[in-house]
Amino acid sequence: MPIRCFPLVDDTLAMLAGGYAWLPGLHRRADGAPARARVMGRPAVALRGPEAARFFYDERHVERATALPEPIKATLTGKGAVHTLDGQAHRTRKAMFLALLADPGHVADLVRHCCESWDERAAGWPDRRRVVLFDEASRALTAGVCRWAGLPVDAGDLDDLAADLVAMVDGFGSAGARHWRGRRARLRREAWLTDLLSHGPPPGPLAEHVAGHRDDDGEPLKPRTAAVEMLNVIRPTVAIAWFVTFAAHALHRWPENRDRLRDGDPAFAEAFTQEVRRFYPFAPYVGGRAVTDLTWRGEPIPEGALILLDVYGQHHDEARWERPYSFLPARFLDAGVGRDDLIPQGGGDPHTGHRCPGEAVTVGLLRELSVRLARLRYSVPPQDLRIPLRRMPTLPHSGFVITDVRPDPQQDHHDKRKSACNRIPHTSPARPKE
């Protein structure tokens, strides 16, 4: 098929500068046709919508193994990770994650450990003049997931580990200092886990599953690859700190949601969680390469072209969502949502495709921590709560500062004893740096 209507001017710098608004802007200018661009010297086609998600995650159309750029592998996913595989090799490696993260028992156990860690840290917040919620969420999630995984983390090392895990996520959308900070953090933590595994897998479900896994060739993972894949469970768990901060932002902007969350209405807690995942920006888009000459709604896509699935644009598409720029949890109470309508962690079937296998962990943790936030009493002092769409991944500039923290009298009694993680210094910010 001929290449048609691809611009000659490369759009890579505009992509980095435009952030979450870049692809929606291309779609508006395309006036209903597939948006076309040139990215990193290659022709690129942008698609969105549930039908586009199914097209994108069909291995007959799109492959991911060579699509992830080196900067993403060096920060977010790691080299040799499951994200860089396709076909049977991908399905075999993915089965290792699904055995952990699609198992309700393991999910419930991970959620419980992270919530206990949150409660331990929150018990110390009334004694503090100010609390940066993003920092505290990232540390609580780091402590919880490491406890669940059986990884030894000294109390004095927790802040540094949380900061490194945040840096890996924060570095994927930047070409500057944030990116290089993420690269160094990944190298440091891959070396830490590789050394740990060289002495035998620590007791815990994560290391045991990774150590016992056999790839498509029947061979166990090499120690460095095993460390990469362990981080690909730990790092996304800590990345839920972004969604937790967005949940606090939503409760502040639309406080009418607080009472229903505080009362523990499970259906509303689920709806609130899904609306946070839809409304707030996290993944801007995902990309792959056309495996052959393709056609999408009559438009040619040449073999080797980049295919970009517009995640943020799909979640704010007026043709799909009523009042898409309004925060309305009730939309998830009134009607069911198809598998490929809401895709903050990818589309398709997690058992056969690249959809995140830890989506149940994200939903479960965000639901539980949103209820805890609703039951916490605090003040929100003046601060910059803007969420810049040009920054990827984005976050309120302040990290969401709260003061005058005190427990809600209606909340169940929590153990007030401070854990060791509450007693460590709170001087090294984990939140993303500009």
For residue 354, which of 51, 143, 82 has the smallest C-alpha distance?
82
Average pLDDT over residues 157-166: 97
Residue-wise pLDDT for 250-300, tens only, equals 999 999 999 999 998 999 999 999 999 999 999 999 999 999 999 998 889
* 35 touches 29 (CB < 8 A): yes
**How many beta carbons lie within 10 A of that of residue 41, not counting itself?**
8
Superfamily of domain 12-423: Cytochrome P450 (1.10.630.10)
- Report the sign of the C-alpha dihedral through residues 221, 289, 175, 242, in that order: negative
- Whether the pTM exceeds 0.85: the reply is yes
Residue-wise pLDDT for 219-246, tens only, equals 999 999 999 999 999 999 999 999 999 9
Q: In what order do the strands lie in the sheet with 401-407?
A: 131-132, 401-407, 376-379
Cα radius of gyration rounded to whole Å, the chain: 21
70-75 own/partner pairs: CB under 8 Å, 24+ apart: 71/172, 71/175, 71/179, 72/172, 74/182, 74/183, 74/186, 75/167, 75/168, 75/169, 75/171, 75/172, 75/179, 75/182, 75/183, 75/185, 75/186
**The one-letter amino acid at 158:** L
pLDDT of residue 247: 98
Residue labelled with tokens 């592998």: 73
Tokens read off for 145: 């997931």
Helical (H) or strand (E) element with 39: strand 35-39
